[in-house]
Amino acid sequence: MGITETAVPDAYRIRPRLREDSRGNFYESYRYDELARETGHVFAPRQANYSVSARGTLRGLHGVTIPPGQAKFVTCVRGALLDVVVDVRLGSPTFGAYDTTVLDASEGTAVYVAEGLAHGFVALTDDSCVSYLCSTQFVPGTQFEIQPFDAELDLPWGQALTGPALLSEKDRRAPGLAAAADLGVLATYEECRKLYERARRDASDAY
């Protein structure tokens, strides 16, 4: 598989190598060893989630506070979507930067989102199904939301929407980036670097 870092440090785009024949195709979606070798991030999933969305549904921006933090490996397994990752780590050299990836089920492209980053997507087709592998299990009260249409971020949802976005009430009422920082829900860049390093050290000790 091909793994490249996006414009947001610690977020990676993963393009699998499809093996095709008359029956269809096969590909490896995720490899622990390859992701660790190419990115330096140790990712051992603890929970798998799926969402199904109508065209024009916008989910995000979402993140998990540190602790515990949560990394995600995001794949579209049916339909297509515009995936967005935003650097919301306080003190990061790229704070506020974002990158987009079109995830299409026919291609198998995935995005790895490290702890401390915010993530969202808009469904490009009806019945789009998204798979999320998560590094930690759900912990009530640790999730945070950021307003996806925050003018400070100016995210390019318009290229994917043909009408008003379908939003949950929680996402609609979410604070902007500056307000989220004032609420104390965003991790610092230093906290995230320490978390990444601790995960590498723990994985090394385990083997």
Structure tokens at 120: 């969202």
Average confidence (pLDDT) over 112-116: 98
Q: What gap in Å lies between CA 195 and CA 67, rounded to an integer?
A: 9
**What domains are there in the chain, each with its CATH number?**
2-138+167-196 (2.60.120.10)
DSSP E strand boundaries for 31-109: 47-53, 58-64, 72-78, 80-86, 98-104
Collect all residues with Cβ–Cβ distance below 8 Å to 144 and sequence separation of at least 6. 62, 63, 64, 65, 180, 183, 185, 186
Q: How confident is the model at residue 207 (pLDDT cuts 50, 70, 90)?
A: very low
Q: How confident is the model at residue 129 (pLDDT cuts 50, 70, 90)?
A: very high
pLDDT tens-digit map of 178-203: 999 999 999 999 999 999 999 888 87
What integer pLDDT is reported at residue 206 of this predicted model? Answer: 52
Residue 84 has pLDDT above 50, yes or no: yes
Average confidence (pLDDT) over 54-71: 98
Catalytic sites, residue numbers: 62, 132
The model's pTM: 0.94
Residues above pLDDT 90, as percent of the chain: 94
- Reference 54, options 163, 181, 159; nearest CA is 163
Average confidence (pLDDT) over 22-26: 93
DSSP state at residue 114:
-
Q: For strands 98-104 and 80-86, give the pairing.
A: antiparallel
DSSP state at residue 5:
E
Q: What gap in Å lies between CA 102 and CA 161, rounded to an integer?
A: 13
